[in-house]
Amino acid sequence: MTWHATVLTLFPAMFPGPLGASLAGRALEEGLWRLDAHDIREHGLGRHRNVDDTPFGGGAGMVMRPDVIDTALAAHRAPDDARPLIYLTPRGRLLTQADAARWAKGPGLVLLCGRYEGLDQRVIESTGAEEVSVGDYVLSGGEPAALVLLDACLRLLPGVMGGAGSAEEESFTDGLLEYPHYTRPAEWQGRAVPPVLLSGDHGAIRDWRRDRAEDATRTRRPDLWAAHLSQRMAGRRSPADATGSVATASAGP
Ligand code: 9D3
């Protein structure tokens, strides 16, 4: 079975968008994955196909109606559909690489994109949708977030990337940012490549890259650095130290 993404959105023209180009686009053409984007407005109410209404309790903006969302979902998701239902919302928990890895192994996803102030809370609860955000910045809607989430999953599907995949995957799992990269020319606009990279000393190159990766992580991403340090401490803790081992096993980064 091919990995199947269904997107419910008011802007189906935003799909596949950038996922129609590059490796994901090639894989889409080759049938390695499938994408269906459906317009929620097709399930809207009345002559104007209304999908939203004013919020109970007052306040600014509009809320997407639960009946409309429920009808749209019923139309595009069979009762026995095993795919996780994800609602893209700034109120969601942050997307992680572990999510992408888990979802890439499954049959696909059903993605619900909100506009306006979002969905009526009752339809989120009744459907059991998983609420996911892609970061702490304000987007115009869930669609660009859905594209990001899909990209993260697609590059993990067998055959989508050039094959180098899983070994390279370890580098983010290792918990450090990457070291900086250089190529020819060895000197450019008065800037030299770090001499160690031209030395042929592979031990020294490995050490330099490790140092640069640690420096970058420490200064740019103190959150990742703290997680990396506790991982490193856990790795060095004696297995005989039972208390330490148990505490470490349950405390993921
Ligand atoms: C900032 C306060 N609000 C608007 C007056 C709430 C709001 C609702 C909906 C803000 C943005 C949006 C649209 N964004 C998404 O639907 C969204 C999103 C995001 O904005 N950032 C990160 N991840 C996501 S996932 C969906």
Tell whether 250 is covered by a domain: no
- Centre of ligand 1 to C-alpha 133, Å, is 8
Rounded Cα gap, residues 82 and 84, in angstroms: 7
Output the domain CATH number for residue 203.
1.10.1270.20
Is 70 exceeded by the pLDDT of residue 170?
no
Q: Is the domain of 62 the same as that of 29?
A: yes
Q: Is the domain of 146 the same as that of 197?
A: no
50: phi then psi, degrees, rounded to nearest 5? -65, 135
Tell whether 165 is covered by a domain: no
Q: Mean pLDDT across the stretch 161-180?
A: 69
- Centre of ligand 1 to C-alpha 210, Å, is 37
Counting from 1 in the atom list of ligand 1, the atom nearest the Cα of 92 is 25
Banded model confidence at residue 54, pLDDT cuts 50, 70, 90: very high
Q: Is the domain of 83 the same as that of 112?
A: yes
Q: What is the pLDDT of residue 250?
A: 38
Q: Is the domain of 149 the same as that of 186?
A: no
Q: What is the pLDDT of residue 91?
A: 97
Mean pLDDT of the residues in the chain: 92
Q: Is the domain of 127 the same as that of 178?
A: no
Is 90 exceeded by the pLDDT of residue 205?
yes
Banded model confidence at residue 244, pLDDT cuts 50, 70, 90: very low
Domain stops at, among 96, 120, 154: 154
Work out whether strand 191-192 and strand 187-188 pair parallel, antiparallel, or are unpaired: antiparallel
Q: Is the domain of 61 the same as that of 9?
A: yes
Choose the residue to mutate in 93, 137, 139 for probing ligand 1, maximizing ligand atoms within 8 Å of C-beta: 139
- Centre of ligand 1 to C-alpha 144, Å, is 11
Q: Is the domain of 127 the same as that of 58?
A: yes
Q: Is the domain of 29 the same as that of 101?
A: yes
Tell whether 252 is covered by a domain: no
Q: How many domains does the chain have?
A: 2
Q: Is the domain of 16 the same as that of 66?
A: yes
Three-state SS string over 52-114 comes to EECCCCCCCCCEECHHHHHHHHHHHCCCCCCCCEEEEEEEEEECCHHHHHHHHHCCEEEEEEC
Tell whether 61 is covered by a domain: yes
- 171-203: pLDDT as tens digits: 554 899 999 999 999 999 999 999 999 999 999
Q: Which residues line ligand 1 (CB under 6 A)?
A: 88-90, 114, 117-118, 133-135, 137-139, 141-142, 145
Please confirm whether the linkage preceding 16 is cis (ω < 30° from 0): yes
Banded model confidence at residue 98, pLDDT cuts 50, 70, 90: very high
Give the amino acid at 199.
S
Banded model confidence at residue 253, pLDDT cuts 50, 70, 90: very low
- 220-232: pLDDT as tens digits: 999 999 999 999 9
pTM of the model as a whole: 0.91
- 57-90: pLDDT as tens digits: 999 999 999 999 999 999 999 999 999 999 999 9
Q: Kindly report the protein residue whose alpha carbon is nearest to atom 6 of ligand 1.
A: 117
Is 60 exceeded by the pLDDT of residue 92?
yes
- Centre of ligand 1 to C-alpha 83, Å, is 24
Q: Mean pLDDT across the stretch 146-171?
A: 80
Output the domain CATH number for residue 66.
3.40.1280.10
Domain stops at, among 154, 189, 218: 154
Counting from 1 in the atom list of ligand 1, the atom nearest the Cα of 146 is 25
Tell whether 144 is covered by a domain: yes
Tell whether 103 is covered by a domain: yes
Q: What is the pLDDT of residue 251?
A: 38
Domain stops at, among 154, 182, 204: 154
CA distances from 46 to 38, 41, 42, 75, 249 (A): 19, 11, 11, 18, 55
Tell whether 132 is covered by a domain: yes
Q: What is the pLDDT of residue 165?
A: 53
Q: Is the domain of 147 the same as that of 189?
A: no
Q: Kindly report the protein residue whose alpha carbon is nearest to atom 14 of ligand 1.
A: 141
- Long-range contact pairs involving 220-229 (C-beta distance under 8 Å, separation at least 24): 220/177, 221/177, 224/175, 224/176, 224/177, 224/253, 227/175, 227/253, 228/174, 228/175, 228/176, 228/253
- Centre of ligand 1 to C-alpha 117, Å, is 8
Tell whether 127 is covered by a domain: yes
Q: Kindly report the protein residue whose alpha carbon is nearest to atom 8 of ligand 1.
A: 117
Domain containing 28 equals 3-154
Q: Is the domain of 32 the same as that of 130?
A: yes
